[in-house]
Each structure stands twice: as C-alpha cells, then as structure tokens.
Amino acid sequence: MGVLLSVENVVGGYEFESLGKKIYVDAVSNVSISIDDNVVFGIAGESGCGKSTLLKIMYGYIISPLKVLRGNIKIFTSNDSYIDVLSISSELRRSRVWWKEISWIPQNAMNVLNPVEKIKDHFVEILTTHERIDKDDALKIATEYVESFGLSKSVLDAYPHQLSGGMRQRVVIALALLLKPKVVLADEPTSALDVVVQRGVLQILLNKQSELKNTVVLVSHDMGVHAMVTNKLAVMYAGKVVEIGRTEDIFEKPLHPYTKALIDSLPRIGDKTLRTGLAGSPPDLRNPPPGCRFHPRCPFAMDICRKEEPPMIEIEKNRFVSCWLYIRR
Amino acid sequence: MAMLLELKNVTKIFRYGFFGFSFKAVDNINISLEDKPFIFTLAGESGSGKTTLARIILGVHRPEYGSVLYKGKDIFKLSSSEMKWFKKEVQAVFQDPYAAFNPLRKVYGYLYDTAKNVAGLSRDEIDGYIDEVLRRVGLNLEKVVGKYPHEFSGGELQRVSIARALITKPRLIIADEPVSMLDASLRINIVNLFKELKDDLKISFIYITHDLSTAYYISDWIAIMYRGWVVEQGPVEKVLSEPLHPYTQTLLLSVPIPDIRLRNKWLSAIKLSATIEEKEFIAKGCKYAGRCPHAKDICFKSEPPTIAIGDVIVKCWLYQK
C-alpha cells in the first residue's frame, strides 16, 4: 500500500467583500493528510468545520469566492510521478483528470444530473467524450453496467426526477465510478436518504470499492456512518484536522477532547444514561481564536492552548493528534 | 386515567391533479396520550405521514375521517374562546428555526407578541416573564434583545423557538424534527432540555423524528409509522429492543451505530428496489408487503389487522393466530 492522494499544507477559504471591507473566512487552515490506495478514508466533523471545502479543493473545483492560498494536492500515478491537481490548467483537469482519475459524488444528486436529460444520456456523454467509444456501444456498456448497481435497465430511459432519492444517488455513484477513477470523493452521499436506503447505497459503494480497489474519501457528519463504513478517519474542527487514525482505534480510544465529545454525545439504542453535549458553539472563522481553535469549548484547556497552536504529532504508529495534552514539554 | 389527546380512526386524504389521483397520507390512525407528563415519539422515514399527523393534531389539516380529542374536546369543533385556550395549551417547535423566524424581524418581537396576544400578559409583566422563560432554555433576555435570527447559531435559535413555545405555559408541545438540523454535540443538549421540561414543568411532548437513537433516549412511548399507517406502537424500550413488525426490525438494523463491533451486522446485505417505484400508498394489502422478507399471499390481498401483544400493538399478519 502506498500513498495515492496527498494533501499538503492546504490553506483555503472564502473571500468576499462586505460593506467595502474585504472579509476572509478561514475554512481550511493548513491541512495535510496523506491517503493510501485501496482504502475508505472518512472525514468527520460538524457543519462549518471545512470538510466539504477540503473535498472541493481536493477535486480542484475552485470557484469564487473559494480561494486556495497555499498548498498542493497530488494524485500519485506511480511511485514518483503525480498529477498536481491545483496547478494544472482547468482544461486539462476537465479533459484528463476529472472522471478518469478522480470523481465527485455530491450530497444532492441533482447537482450532477441534468434535469432535462435522460439517465442514459449522462452515461453516453461521459463515455463518448472521455473514451473513443461511439454512441451505440456506449449505450450497450451503460445497459450492462447499471445492473451491477442493482438498478433495472428501465432506469436509463427515465428522467432524473422520476427516480427516488436512493436510485438517483445510485445513478450518481455509477457515473462517478464509470471510468474507474483511482480516487472517489463522496460528500455526504447518503445524508439526504432514509436509513434503510442509506444502508443499501453505502453497501453498494463499499462493494464497488473492494472490486475496483480504489480509494473512497467519504465526508460525513454522522459518526455512526464512519463507524460502519470507513477504515481510516480524520476529524476536523473549525478548519483544522485535529485527529487522524484507524477508525477502530479512534472509536476505541479517541484522543482529542473534541473527538471524544463528539462520540460521547451520541445516544445509543438500549442505553438511557444521561449524555452531555459540548457547551458553546464553533468559532467564527472570520476571526478564529488564537492558539488551539477548540480551546474555548475544551474542558481540559490550559494556558498554552490559548496562546499557541498545537502541532500535529504521531503518538503511535498511524495515530496522529493535534493537542497540547499529548505533548510533553 | 383521563386522556390528554386521543386520535380516533384519523384519515387524511391528499389529492393531486385535476382528475384526482388521491392517496391517504394518514390512514386510519388511533393513538392516545394519558394526561401525565409523557414523551410520545412518532418515528418514521420520509413520506410516512408523521408531519401530516402533527399538522392534524395542531389543527392545521382537517382530517377527512375520524376525530381528534384534546382533553375530551374535538379540536375541529371548538368555539372561539375554546380555540384560544387550545392555542395556549398546545404549542409547536419545528425543524428549521431559521425558517420559523422572519429574517428581517428581531426575534424578541416574536416572544413579545406571543406573550401579549396568546398568553395575554400586560405590558409591564412581559419582559420579566420572557427573561424567566429564556433562562429555562439556557439563554436570557440580554442575549436575545435587539438580535436578528442570523445572529444566533442554529442551536441557540432553536432554544429561542422552544422558549417562545413555553411562554403560553403549554401542556403539550409538538416538536417536529426539532434537532435534525443541529450538529450531534448540540443535539443532545436540546434533547436533554426536553427531558428537563417534562420533569420540571410537567409538559408532554409529541416528538417527531426519523432518528431512533434520540427517540430511545428521551421517549416513553413510540409509534412507528410507514406509508400513513402506525405499524407498531408501544413502550420505547420494548419496541426498540424486541421489534415485532418486520419494518421496525429492518429500520432498527439499518441505523448506523457509532460502535465498530456492530459493523458486520450492519453490512449484511440488504436489497434496494431496482425499478421505478411505487404505489405503496395505494397498495391493496399491506403497504410493506413488497419489501417484506416474510410476506405471504394474504399480505398482498388484504390489510393486516392490528394485534395487541402485551402492551405493544402491531399491524401485521404474522401475529394473527
């Protein structure tokens, strides 16, 4: 197993003007993650923590007001060659990288599907523009292909609005995997679905992953989903990654106080003991607090947490945490 | 014991189009709440009719059949003074607090209006009382006065809308997905608040949710809805630990649990439907038969009976002796 996708010191955020003043919202603040091949890598965190923004940057989908100030995203094609997603031209990204090397599954399928095109036209369009395949062959391929996602052929003749949410999401997953990209970015792919359908859709995503041996980066706010699906997990808070590790290790023994609070705040069926959440709310990223961004809500905050930002340290093999509690000084 | 709320054979029909494709969004529902502090959960997935049922209880939708009795009075046959009383007694909290408040109006105005018009307080009592109510939900007057909705976080604004509901000293609060928009770490605080309000102020809740974990955590009783039916209801510990209806069983098994030991069970395959769905609302027999792993011939032909097993009531042919 080697590194497939490398996120290096990425700083990005939203820049806009309000009342004549330039405002910058620090959404992704110096994030570095390396993601291996053949893995389901989860990114957890609550709304506004920067997880979706990070995913957009990984995809190279930078449209105003989103700005990337620093950092690199590399997709390794072999040991020493890579695609630098952020610095190649947008034409190249569209023609060579998207769909073929990296694809994106959004929360709302209608962000990808064209409401006035039949489902089959979506498949045909991708196949004919990216591969040298004519229209009839493309249609043949699509017909066989959709059945492997548990969809009947009749779906191809439907318009997106005629499908249920779960079927639409399966269509989008099928499109994203069509050209067998090495990296699939899934942004809350099942958050709008009911739990039974969510379970079915995620199972399909996992089966395909083990078939294709690609890497799925799964963003979800739902710690339950991460426990059921991912192999590795990064937890984000206020634009920073606070903890990275194997999913089972993180659930077994969360290191960062935020991760611990996040897991402890979830009620479980069969358990009525009192649970407590976190006091306060996440900081305003127009003006983030100094030091550790979690310190205003952290029950263990010390002096240094208010002043200096904790570095990310590896405390055991494959376990990283960014917290002063774990740094001997 | 006297009943706080009783729904008897309530059916609500929605019609689409000029020639009237119609279906029953709420189909022959019977539920009741005793007159004691109680949290009653209506759980179900999208399209199960839980919000429609909430609106019926609030008097927004008038059901085609059946009746809704609040403290023994039919809520659709109230005199105007009784209507005023009913609006004080029964309050609502909705899913999206930002949608509940006008973005161009300061939220204090809502609290003031409710205190003045619905609770009928005099002008010099109002501020003190609003402050008291806000403190109940972990805020105070100072934190709220002069602010617009966007100046609050989602969790805070939901607290304001709960405070607004508390102003009239209600006996019953209908909370429709009140925590679905909130992050997990804040969600539990609001859910705990409901528990406190039940214990301290003796308020009953109808808690409408798709989230079985919080339902288990706070409620006394749960009714599982599917396509307009209540397919199973009973004490929450019983229904969610030994579910009887095949739908409740699948639903329960599908909830992603933050416990990695349950992964394999969760990953055991389920099958999604392959073709364009679905006429489940207007199916002849059991509306779940098309997906049910235990479906028999009779399930496709006639509507299942409701059967009491201990204190659980289940609507399924499997339990017919």
Confidence check: pLDDT of A108 > 90: no
- List chain B residues with CB under 8 Å of A274: 192
Confidence check: pLDDT of A83 > 80: yes
For residue B7, name the pLDDT band (cuts at 50, 70, 90): very high
Confidence check: pLDDT of B282 > 70: no
Q: A137 lies in a domain? A: no
- The rounded Cα B236 to chain-centroid distance in angstroms is 14
Structure confidence at residue B142 (pLDDT): 92
Q: What is the CATH number of the domain that holds A207?
A: 3.40.50.300
Contact state of A158 with B276 under an 8 Å Cβ cutoff:
yes
* Shortest CA gap B76–chain A (Å): 33
To test the contact with chain B by mutation, choose from A199, A242, A258 the residue with the greatest count of B C-beta atoms within 10 A, namely: A199
Q: Mark which residues 91-110 of A lie under 8 Å from B by CB.
A: none
Q: Out of B188, B192, B272, name the one closest to residue A166 (CB).
A: B272
Between B175 and A18, where is the model more confident? B175
To test the contact with chain A by mutation, choose from B237, B260, B280, B281 the residue with the greatest count of A C-beta atoms within 10 A, namely: B260
CB within 8 Å of A4: residues ≥ 6 apart: A35, A36, A37, A75, A76, A182, A183, A215
pLDDT, tens only, A112-130? 899 999 999 999 999 999 8
- List chain B residues with CB under 8 Å of A262: 184-185
- List chain B residues with CB under 8 Å of A204: 272
CA A120/CA A156 separation, integer angstroms: 5
| Strands of A82-84's sheet in order across | A21-36, A3-18, A66-76, A82-84
Q: Which residue of A has its CA nearest to B258?
A: A224
Q: A252 lies in a domain? A: yes
- What three-state secondary structure class fits B206? strand
CA B215/CA A252 separation, integer angstroms: 25
**B54 CB neighbour count, 10 Å cutoff:** 20
pLDDT, tens only, A38-69? 999 999 998 889 999 999 999 999 998 999 99
Confidence check: pLDDT of B280 > 80: no
User: A119 in contact with B at a CB cutoff of 8 Å?
Assistant: no
Percentage, residues of chain B above pLDDT 90: 79
Between A150 and A238, where is the model more confident? A238
Contact state of A272 with B156 under an 8 Å Cβ cutoff:
no
Q: A306 lies in a domain? A: yes
Q: A113 lies in a domain? A: no
User: A4 in contact with B at a CB cutoff of 8 Å?
Assistant: no
Q: Mark which residues 164-193 of B lie under 8 Å from A by CB.
A: 183-189, 191-192
Q: Does this complex have an ipTM over 0.90? A: no
Structure confidence at residue A282 (pLDDT): 87
Span B52-64, mean pLDDT?
Answer: 95
- What three-state secondary structure class fits A149? coil
Confidence check: pLDDT of B274 > 90: no
Q: Which residue of A has its CA nearest to B210?
A: A194
Confidence check: pLDDT of A303 > 70: yes
CB within 8 Å of B292: residues ≥ 6 apart: B246, B247, B286, B299
Structure confidence at residue B276 (pLDDT): 59
Q: A245 lies in a domain? A: yes
Q: Out of B214, B263, B275, name the one closest to residue A154 (CB).
A: B275
CA A216/CA A104 separation, integer angstroms: 10
Percentage, residues of chain B above pLDDT 70: 96
User: Count of CB contacts below 8 A, A vs B?
Assistant: 147
**By mean pLDDT, which of A2-16, A33-47, B153-167, B277-291 is the weakest?**
B277-291
Q: Which residue of A has its CA nearest to B277?
A: A164
Domain that holds residue A45: 3-101+181-266+278-326
Dig out the tokens for A251 from the structure. 């659930």
Dig out the tokens for A151 from the structure. 């969809």
User: B219 in contact with A at a CB cutoff of 8 Å?
Assistant: no
Q: A271 lies in a domain? A: no
Confidence check: pLDDT of A191 > 90: no
Q: Which residue of A has its CA nearest to B219?
A: A272
Domain count, chain A: 1
Q: A120 lies in a domain? A: no
CB within 8 Å of B293: residues ≥ 6 apart: B246
Structure confidence at residue B85 (pLDDT): 95
Which residue ranges form the domains of chain B, and what is each CATH number? Answer: 3-319 (3.40.50.300)
Mean pLDDT of chain B: 92
Q: A38 lies in a domain? A: yes
pLDDT, tens only, A236-271? 999 999 999 999 999 999 999 999 999 999 999 999
Let me know the angle formed at the C-alpha of A236 by A231 and A240, rounded to the nearest 5 degrees. 130
Contact state of A224 with B188 under an 8 Å Cβ cutoff:
no
Q: Mark which residues 253-272 of A lie under 8 Å from B by CB.
A: 261-263, 265-272
Dig out the tokens for A40 from the structure. 């389901």
Structure confidence at residue A281 (pLDDT): 83
- The rounded Cα A44 to chain-centroid distance in angstroms is 8
| Strands of B21-34's sheet in order across | B21-34, B3-16, B65-70, B73-74
CA B133/CA B110 separation, integer angstroms: 13
Span B65-79, mean pLDDT?
Answer: 96
Contact state of B184 with A267 under an 8 Å Cβ cutoff:
no
**A288 CB neighbour count, 10 Å cutoff:** 16
- What three-state secondary structure class fits A311? coil
Q: Please list the residues that pair with B222 across neighbouring strands.
A: B41, B234
Q: Which residue of A has its CA nearest to B217?
A: A272
- Closest listed residue to residue B31, CA positions, set B60, B11, B62, B5: B5
- List chain B residues with CB under 8 Å of A268: 213, 216, 257-259
Phi-psi category of B302—alpha, beta or left, where left has phi over 0 and alpha has psi -120 to 50? Answer: beta
For residue B161, name the pLDDT band (cuts at 50, 70, 90): very high
- Closest listed residue to residue B144, CA positions, set B97, B201, B181, B185: B97
Confidence check: pLDDT of B275 > 70: no
Contact state of A270 with B240 under an 8 Å Cβ cutoff:
yes
Span A148-170, mean pLDDT?
Answer: 90
User: B77 in contact with A at a CB cutoff of 8 Å?
Assistant: no
